[in-house]
Structure 1
Amino acid sequence: MSDQSLAAVVTKQRTQIALSSLRQEGVYDEGRHITEHDDGTVAIPVTDPPAQTDVLEVVRTTGETRLRTLEDHLRQRGWTDGELDAVPGSWAVIGSVILVDTSDTPRPAEVGDALLAMHGHADTVLSRDGIAGVHREPSVEVIAGEGDTHTVHREHGTTYALDLSEVMFSPGNKAERAHMGETVDDGERVLDMFAGVGYFTLPMARGGAHVTAIEHNPTAFQYLVENVVRNGVQDSVETYRADCRDVVARGVEAADPFSFERVVMGYYDAYEYLDSALSALESDGTVHMHEATPEAELPDRPVDRLHAAAERNGRRVSDCEVREIKGYSEGVTHVVVDATVR
């Protein structure tokens, strides 16, 4: 029988790993806070002693029951019903950092404090305001906590180190990152034209593919190289810091030219790079082209763009599928076109 006073003790450095493992076991107690146990350790509330997670010890605690919702926390702080109508409906926890949009919210600092109370392993809250520029740099502001924007995030067995004030990370692409890791075949040659910190490169390399990863942003590239090592896929990933078009042009013209069975284009304006992508893609190869498309133009716009590029390059598109990933903005959807190009 479960015991509502139990907690698993782990070192602070292992909080994220242990929390993920306890969730997978189904014994993490969402209704109580993670608390400090003693110097250097934390107590993670559990419903039963963990059988699969490595912990220092299991103890009994007297922790308070957690307020369940953000509205509960803010109402306790005196927020009115009118103010609560403007409370963010969603946020994302990336490692030890919480990302939330507070652009239309009164008293963002109080929202940040409430989110920290809800997520005991997090230490910083960032208000995000979009991605801009050729290097896809985020616009963020620290609204609560320690202000440490560097973190290590783990999902589906892949580890990402990054600084959320300098490089983008889209929480809504979590399922797509996992999907790409499951899509590749062992030994498959893949080109990732917009690798970032390794969003798709790392799951694909862990899935057995040999990935050529290109990233232009110097900070993102630094984390890409670090993350390749963190995930132990150094033998499966070749990295370039450059404009992907330049790398592809040199590779195609080399004595031993580039040749890829799959090309991943994880960039909303990826269609502008299709000529380069197709020049490096083998016949019967697969292309994954991301795009932010107005709903009224789905599925025609991205598909037409791919067909036009194929025709320019003497190629033919077959087995074309448009998948919706997530909402991008009002009336606009993030989609991926998966297609075989002959």
Structure 2
Amino acid sequence: MPLSQPLNQSQHRSLNWEAQTLLELMERIGAPALDSQEPAMARATRAELAPEPTEDCHEIRFVDAGGVPARLYLPTPTDTLPGLLVFFHGGGWVIGDLDSHDNICRSLTNRSGQAVLSIDYRLAPEDPFPAGLGDCIQATRWAHANAAELGVDPDRLAVGGDSAGANFAAVVAHVAPAPIMFQLLVYPVTDCRMNTESYEQNAEGYFLTKSSMQWFIDHYLAGERGSAEDPRVSPLLVGDDVLAQSPPALVITAGFDPLRDEGVAYANRMAALGVKVSHVEFTGQFHGFFSLPHMLGDARAAHALAAESLRLALASGRP
């Protein structure tokens, strides 16, 4: 897949008609803005929106990933051990859980033929940075060391996630607590300084707002142990020597997303340093669309793309 280039102002974006209909429906429902709620209420609101599972997979079981709760998804049984995607859910480091992204994990394991380990990391502001990141690093290290217990190939390991989960995946790839062959980054948070053009273009009206993103970042950094300039918070700011060692990546972005430009910048910077990276932008979509394959055709296409990219990346085992 070719690396795409950032769209400039002269290039026209049109909101996908399904996305437009869905956004209008959400506006009519009138759910309170995230940044107007306390975290506990925001979590309850998000939990109410979690879709019921739409498909089965071969096996789902709970796992203690070295002290971090997790849920393992296994594809159709085979004589060959599958590879493993360690998946970190989105939700701005504040909301989301194993259930909120259950449909994504089922879809990815079924379509890729690889196992998925979904990580239930600690949430801010009760456990601010770097608690959740530490959980993700620990779980990745444990998954590699305990591959036999999971029934997966230790030489075929990937990390991935959406939004804040993709932020964790990128940083885990930098830390490399285990050999990582691939990273799946769906509209990743890569620059918490919030100073890109897409933050201004998509500040309101497209599900994730600029003010909500500020709310997320403020809660994540509530412990005052990190800042937006810290590469462990903003992986776009990591040094060239570290970024150049990144595993191959698929970066998915959405055209009507405040995070669009930082995702594009991250993909372009990796490519410039010689990392194998594909970037695909769903120009008519908003932040969060990947969670809605039961409603959006683009989400189903994105799942197919992500799963096939994961399958191909993990097909050959150790490079």
Query: Is the shorter-chain TM-score for this pair beyond 0.5, marking a shared fold?
Result: no
Work out which structure has the larger RCO, using CA pairs closer than 8 Å and 6 or more positions apart in sequence. Answer: 2
Higher normalized helix content (fraction of residues): 2
- Give TM-score scaled by structure 2 length: 0.31
Higher normalized strand content (fraction of residues): 1
